[in-house]
Amino acid sequence: MSVLPEVIAANADYAAEFGDKSELALPPARGFAVLTCMDARLDPAKYAGLSEGDAHVIRNAGGRASDDAIRSLVISYKLLGTKEWFVIHHSDCGMEFFTDEVIRGLLANSLETAALGPDGFHDVGTGPGSAEGDYIDWLTISDQETSVTEDVRRIRNHPLVPSRIPIYGYIYDVKSGLLVEVPSATAAGAAVSD
Ligand SMILES: [Zn+2]
């Protein structure tokens, strides 16, 4: 049973109440961007108090500073004027539960959805899989504070990112909804004023 009819119906309801959101400007009104995980439990609009038009939200598995996330951040400041950035990872992230080696092995075995047991993921498919997974850096996480700090540092040191933009590092706690600062990350992301 597809979710398609539910999504289309929900969208019709949303559009019926769209109102003055049709007048929103393209550049984010509050001038900031958030890089965070795609985890379904995280709703950046709610946890950071965003309305439509307020901020850029860039999401991927883990909220990692991949080349593509940096592409979006560069567009965010260079063309659309954001002035502050957040990198927000979270507790209980799925990216902590496997390594490159594990996901490559699972994909080499089959393209079925793997099962998660007490000792990690295992494959339940019959194949064929593909070795293409060997060519992807999956950017898995072994420690959240380390991953946030590394990602903030990578963005900070990128040649296309100006030193004036402060980058804040946080971990969202899925048990409390709170954003917890990672001081080493925020320190690494501090702006350098001219
Ligand atoms: Zn996650």
**Segment 97-125, tens digit of pLDDT:** 999 999 999 999 999 999 988 888 999 99
**Does residue 27 sit in the same domain as residue 114?**
no
Helix (H, G, I), strand (E, B) or coil at 28: coil
Neighbours of 63 (CB within 10 A): 32
| 93 is annotated as contributing to ligand binding | yes
**Does residue 28 sit in the same domain as residue 68?**
yes
| 123 is annotated as contributing to ligand binding | no
Residue 78 lies in a domain: yes
Give 161's pLDDT tier (boundaries 50, 70, 90). Answer: very high
**Does residue 113 sit in the same domain as residue 155?**
no
* CA 144 to centroid of ligand 1, rounded, Å: 10
**Does residue 31 sit in the same domain as residue 112?**
no
Query: How far apart, in Å, are the Cα atoms of 37 and each of 34, 93, 115, 194?
Result: 10, 8, 21, 32
**Does residue 156 sit in the same domain as residue 174?**
yes
Residue 194 lies in a domain: no
107 within 8 A of 130, measured Cβ to Cβ = yes
Residue 133 lies in a domain: yes
User: Rounded to an integer, what distance in angstroms lies between the CA atom of residue 51 and that of residue 6?
Assistant: 23
Domain CATH code at residue 20:
3.40.1050.10
Nearest CA among 81, 82, 79, 40 for reference residue 168: 82
- Using one digit for the tens of pLDDT, what is the confidence trace for 53-107? 999 999 999 999 999 999 999 999 999 999 999 999 999 999 999 999 999 999 9
Residue 128 lies in a domain: yes
**Does residue 145 sit in the same domain as residue 123?**
no
Residue 193 lies in a domain: no
**Does residue 19 sit in the same domain as residue 70?**
yes
This model's pTM is above 0.85:
yes
User: Rounded to an integer, what distance in angstroms lies between the CA atom of residue 160 and that of residue 156?
Assistant: 9
Instruction: Tell me the two tokens of residue 171.
Output: 């971990």
| 13 is annotated as contributing to ligand binding | no
* Count of domains for the chain: 2
**Does residue 30 sit in the same domain as residue 116?**
no
Q: Which domain holds residue 50?
A: 4-94+141-188
| 194 is annotated as contributing to ligand binding | no
Q: E strand or H helix at 67, and its extent?
A: helix 67-78
* CA 78 to centroid of ligand 1, rounded, Å: 28
User: Rounded to an integer, what distance in angstroms lies between the CA atom of residue 118 and that of residue 132?
Assistant: 27
Q: What size, in residues, is the chain?
A: 194
**Does residue 18 sit in the same domain as residue 63?**
yes
**Does residue 14 sit in the same domain as residue 86?**
yes
